[in-house]
Structure 1
C-alpha cells in the first residue's frame, strides 16, 4: 500500500529572517541595536536600507507605528563620522552638523533623538535636540562644543541659525520626518528655508504616513530622482493597522468621564493615552481621573516644557498609566505597552484619527482604540468613518451602564467609576522630578486659567512656542505689561500705568470745561 502523499512531501523551508548586519550596517550600530533587543528590521526598514545605504534620495511611506525612525536613522548613522573614528579629522569642518532631522513637534524630536542615541550608543556620535520651550544657552553651548546630528523643530533651528550659532552648510544628509504634519502646522516655508541652507549635493529622505499634494511637490523640488517606498502588509489592505481593535460609541457628554473611568479598569489594560481636542478638556479630564484615584497626567499647550517632559517620563517609567493629551502628542509618543487609546473627543479628521490610534498596536503588538462620539459630532464622524472604511458610520448609543460596553472591553461586572484603593499602586505624577529647563516664554502675571504662571502656548505648530512666541525672535511679541514690568519699555507718555488707569476723564460741553456738578 502506498504511503499517504502528505507524508512524502518535504516540509516547506522558510528563509531566515534578515538582520541589520545583512544590509552592511556598521557593526557598532548592529550591536547597539542588539543591546536594546532590536535584531530584525521591520518591513519599511528592510525595504529602505538597501536604497538609503546607497546614498539615494527616498520617499518613505508607511502606516504610523511601523518603524520609520530606524528606516532613516540607521542609514544616517552609517554616513556620520564620529569623533575618534577614522576620517573625522579629515572632515571639511569637524564639529559642524553632518546630518539634519526636521520634525514638527517637540515630543517627536525627543523620540527621534533618543532612538538615534540608542542606535549609536557604542559610538561617540553627538546628537543634539533643538526645540522651543528650553533655554537657548545650553543648546548654544552644545553647538559651540561640536555636534554631529541635529534633531529639531523648524522654529528653534531657524532662530539659532539667524543668530549665527547653527550652520547647516556641512549637513550632507537631511531627513524630513512626518512631513504631512509639518504641512498641517504651516511649517513648510520654514522647512524650505532650512533646506536652502544645506549643501546642494546631499541625500534627502522624506518619511510620512500620508502624502498630500504639497508634500509631493516639496519632494519634487528638493529631491533628485527619489525612490518612493511604500511598505504595507500584503494581507492588510486597511488604512489602519490590523493589530488595533477599534470600538466606536455614541456617548453623552455628561457620561463620558464615567465611561472612561470604567474603561480604565478593563482586564489586561496597560498604559493608556486619552486624546482630547482642547487644552482645557485635557486638564479637566486629567484632574478628574486623579480625583477618582487613577495615576494620570496631561500634556497640552498650556503646560511648560518641563511639565510636559515630566508627564512623558512618568508615563514611560510607569509612575502613571494614563496620559491625557491634545493632538500635540499624537505624533512623537513612542512608548512600549500602550494597550489602549481613547478618543475622548472626536478627532477633526481621518488623519488625526490615524495618528491618535497609531500610538497603540506599534511594532507588531496588539492594541485597542475606543472613540466617544457626541451627538453633535456624528456628521463629522461619518466622514471620518467613510474615509478610513471602519464600517461604523452611525455608532450605537452607549452609556456607562450598557452591557455591550462591559462585554466589548472586558470590564469586570460591578465596576464603578472610582478606582478601588487596593488597586492604587502607582507612584503618581508627583513622584517624577520636574526639571528646571530654563524655560522661555513664562508669564510674569498669573495665567487667565488660574493654573500658574505658564505662558499659554498654542497647540498648533506643535505647541512649540518657537519663533514669534518665545525668546529670541519672539521677544518683541511678549505681552506689553510683562516687558514694562521687566523695565524693557515704558508707556508712551511716561505716566505710570496705575496712575493712568485711575485718572478721571474731564467732562466738556461745546469744547469748554463743563461746570462741576452740584454736590
Structure 2
C-alpha cells in the first residue's frame, strides 16, 4: 500500500536505493514511498542521526530498515552491523520479518532476540554470524552480559517505539546497551510521542539529529478519515451492556478492547463470552505460551475479540483488526495515540470507540488537544437501532448466499411448500428463521442516556461537559434526583428538561446536575433544597405537549426500567 506525497520523492528509485531493494519493494507491491520514508531515508542514507515522531502505521519500519540495508557492507566478520531495539516479542518478530522481506535479494542475515524463546537457537545463530539483530532490551542485555552479542562493529542503532520501552521500564537497559556500542555509531530514534524522557535520551545519545514529525495521512477533502473516532458517555453500571450493544451494531472483523487492569480483563472476557462473543483475555499475568495460544486463536479467526491491558497489547499487529475499543478513557493521551494506532493501517479504514464515564469527559478533551483530532460524542445505539442493524446483517448474509452458495439441494423444500403457501410467505418464514438464528433482541433493555451539560443546553446545544457522576446509584452531595415520566420515546431531549425547569422555577440551568434519559422516563439531578419547588412548578407545566409525572426518584416503582 502506498501513500501519495505532495513533494519529495515520487518513487523509491528517486531515493537512490540499490537495485536489490527496489526489486524486493516492487515484488511486494510498493510503488511510492510514504511521507515518513521520503523524509527519513535521505538523511539516514547520509549517515545522519534522526529523531522521528511517527504514529504506528505510517511506514516507519521501512523508513529505517531500507537505509540500514542500503548501507550494509559487502562483507562482514559475522558480528552485527545494525541493532534494532523494540519493546515486545511481537514487534521484534514483525520488524525482523520486514528486514527479511526487504533484504531477501541481498542475503541479509537477520535475527530476532526476545524473551520466552529458546536461547540455544539464538546462541547458535549468533555464533554462525548475523548482520542485523532485532531485540527486546532485556534479552539483548542478557546476551551482552554473556558476551554472546558483541556490538563493537555496530554502525547503526535504532530505537523503535522508544516511548513504549520507557513505559515498560527499560530505561536503564537501554543506557547499558548504548554503552556497549561504538561512540561513532548512527543512532535513530522513533517514537509515537516525544515526552521529556525521550527528549533526554535524544540529547544524550543523538548527535546533531534530523528531527521529523509525521502523523497519519490526512484524508483528502470530502473523504472520511481512515480512523473514525467516537465516544459514548455511559454510567459504569451499564458499560458491559453498552459494549455489547456497540459490538452488535459495529460487527467488527476483529477488535481489541482495552482495559486498565488484569482483573478487569478477566472479568470482562468472562462477561463477553457469557453474552455469546468469542473473546480472549491478554494481560501481563500470562506466560508466553498462553500469549501465543491467545494470539493464534485471534489470527485464525477462532476468537473475534481480544480484551487486553496496554502492556500486554504492546507491539501487536493484527492484520484483520478493524476496531479498537477503549473500555475506559486512557489516563494519558499518549496511551490513546498508541491504542488507535493499531487500526487504520496501510490505508485500511478503522474504528476507535471509547466508553467514557461522566467524570472522564475532561480527559476526552485533553486527548483532543494533544492529538489535534476531534472525538465525536455520540448517542448509544437504541434497541431499535440494534434491530435494524441485525436485519441489515441478515439481508447481507442472505444476499451472499444467493450469489455464492449452491442452493439447488433446497429447491425441493421450496417447491413442496409453494404448493400450499404463497412464495412470499415461504420467503418471509425463511428470512425469519435466518434472522432469529443470529440472536433475538426481544429481551434487550434500553440503556439510560447520560447527558453532562453546560449552560449552552438552554440554547438547545447538547455537549459533554462539566457534569457530576452518579456513584453507586447515589446523586452528588447536596443533590437529589427527580423522576420524570417522559423519556426518549416521547421525544424528550436534555434541553427540553432544562428549559422546563428553568422556565417554571427560580432555578437556573447552571444549577441542574446530571441528566439521564431512558426510553420511558428521565432522571434529573437538582439541588435538594429546591426539589419540592421544582416538583410543584412542573405539575402545572407541559413538556413536549404532555403533562409529566414528576416526583423524587425514591418514589419510582421498582419495576421501572433500570
TM-score clears 0.5: yes
After superposition, the C-alpha distances for 1:376-412 in whole angstroms (9 at most, x for unaligned) are: 544544543444455569x56x666466x759xx943
Asked whether the 8 Å contact 1:59–1:227 carries over to 2, the reply is yes
Please point out which of 48, 71, 80 is paired with 1:97.
80
Residue 35 of structure 1 corresponds to 27
Q: Structure 1 residue aligned with 2:15, among 23, 31, 39?
A: 23
SS at structure 2 position matched to 1:116: helix
- Quickly say closer, same or farther: Cα 1:115–1:78, change in 2 above 3 A: same
Residue 354 of structure 2 aligns with which residue? 371
Is the Cα contact below 8 Å between 1:293 and 1:420 reproduced in 2? no
Please name the residue that 1:71 is paired with: 63
Equivalent residues of 1:330, 1:355 under 8 A apart:
no
User: What SS does the aligned partner of 1:323 have?
Assistant: strand
Do the aligned residues in 1 keep the contact of 2:55 with 2:216 (CA within 8 Å)?
A: no
What does 1:251-330 align with in structure 2 at a 5 Å threshold? 251-266=234-249, 269-330=252-313
Equivalent pairs, count: 392
Equivalent residues of 1:105, 1:328 under 8 A apart? no
Are the aligned partners of 1:258 and 1:400 in contact in 2 as well (CA < 8 Å)? no
> Hey, what's the Cα distance between the residues in 1 that align with 2:308 and 2:386?
25
Please state whether the residue corresponding to 1:56 is helix, strand or coil. Answer: coil
Q: 1:312 to 1:18 in 2, by over 3 A?
A: farther
> Which structure has the highest helix share of the two?
2
Deviation >6 Å, runs of 4+: 14-17
Q: Counterpart in 2 of 1:56?
A: 48
**CA 1:117–1:299: 2 relative to 1, 3 Å:** farther
Out of 167, 189, 199, the position equivalent to 1:216 is 199
TM-score, normalized by length of structure 2? 0.63
Residue of structure 2 aligned with 1:412, choices 384, 387, 390: 390
Structure 2 unmatched runs, 5+:
1-5, 394-433, 440-562
Structure 1 residues 291 and 19 mapped into 2: Cα distance closer, same or farther (>3 Å)? Answer: farther
Matched residue, 2:321: 338
Asked if structure 2 preserves the Cα contact closer than 8 Å seen for 1:298 and 1:323, the reply is yes
CA distance in 2, matches of 1:414, 1:235: 31
Alpha carbons 1:61, 1:230 under 8 Å: kept: yes
TM-score normalised according to structure 1 size: 0.68
Give the C-alpha shift of residue 227 in structure 1.
1.0
Residue 212 to residue 420, structure 1, CA distance change in 2 (3 Å): farther
1:267 is displaced (CA, Å) by 5.3
Instruction: Indicate whether 1:177 and 2:160 are aligned.
Output: yes
CA distance in 2, matches of 1:258, 1:220: 48
Q: Alpha carbon RMSD of aligned pairs, Å?
A: 3.3
CA pair 30-328 structure 1, distance change in 2 beyond 3 A: farther
2-structure distance, mates of 1:347, 1:232:
20
CA contact 2:322–2:351 (8 Å) conserved in 1: yes
Give how far 1:338 is off: 2.2
Larger radius of gyration: 2
Higher normalized contact order (CA 8 Å, seq sep 6+, divided by chain length): 1
